[in-house]
Amino acid sequence: MHDRDLPEELALPLATGEPWWYWSGGRPAVDFVNTHRERWRRGVETLVTPEDLATWLVRAGVMEASAPVTQKVLAQAIDLREAIDALLVGAIEGGAAAPTEAITLIDDWLVFAGVRPQLVADPGGVPLLTERAASDSPRRALGTIALDAATMLGTDQRSRIRICASETCSGRFFDRSPAGRRRWCSMRTCGNEAKARRHRQRQRQSV
């Protein structure tokens, strides 16, 4: 049995996705895409509830503290995720023009990204440049993800986007290896599995 697979007997759809998140993407935008698991087979949604999304954004380090997420924001987050994946797959396949709707959708989120400066008076009345509190932190966190995606997809970094070479894994990752020849989402799981399979084949051939 393959490590990266979800258990065969999993009751779908999931009630909550948290036990099935994984973090081998190498950056928030790719980890986000990987919340849609087993794209190669069953397509398992692990951002099931608004609470799932709130917890995920905190665990991903793009939101400081858990904040309420509405069902609407969850639906918009999933649209954002699939737009990122469309461009990600396009970058790997090369050639064909990227879907314009996906570009526009990611761009729409960029207005929520980044620091919003604020000038206030400190207790002594001296002007102080500070950062405006996020009035809607889940949207802002998704803006951060959109910016990470745009940085990866809209620059030469796109040449480092990969899909795991395992036939039973659809994990996406960002290849940060110096030579840029990484093939597996994780050496510990898919990489090891491939090594073991080659070993078994060699043994069979030698008998």
Output DSSP code: residue 136: S
CB of 185 to Zn ion, least distance (A): 3
Minimum CB distance to Zn ion, residue 22 (Å): 9
Per CB under 5 A, residues contacting Zn ion are: 4, 164, 166, 169, 171, 185, 190
Rank residues 17 and 171 by Cβ distance to Zn ion and give the closer one: 171
**Minimum CB distance to Zn ion, residue 54 (Å):** 27
Residues 6+ apart with CB under 8 A from 30: 88, 152, 161, 172, 173, 174
Q: Which residues of the chain form beta strands (DSSP E)?
A: 36-37, 44-45, 117-121, 127-131, 161-163, 172-174
- Residue number with CB closer to Zn ion (141 or 193): 193
Query: What is the full DSSP assignment across 37-53?
Result: E-TTTT-EE---SHHHH
At a CB cut-off of 8 Å and minimum separation 6, what does 112 contact? 136, 139, 140, 142, 143, 146
Closer residue to Zn ion (CB): 35 or 166: 166
Taking the C-alpha atoms of residue 196 and residue 166, their distance in angstroms, rounded to an integer, is: 13
| Least Cβ distance, residue 207 to Zn ion (angstroms) | 30
Query: CB-wise, 55 or 189, nearer to Zn ion?
Result: 189
5 or 51: CB nearest Zn ion: 5
Q: How is 71-110 classified by DSSP, letter by letter?
A: HHHHHHHHHHHHHHHHHHHHHHH-SSPPPHHHHHHHHHHH
Nearest approach, Cβ of residue 161 and Zn ion (Å) = 14
CB nearer to Zn ion: pick between 3 and 64: 3
For the CB of residue 166, give the shortest distance to Zn ion in the complex, in Å. Answer: 4
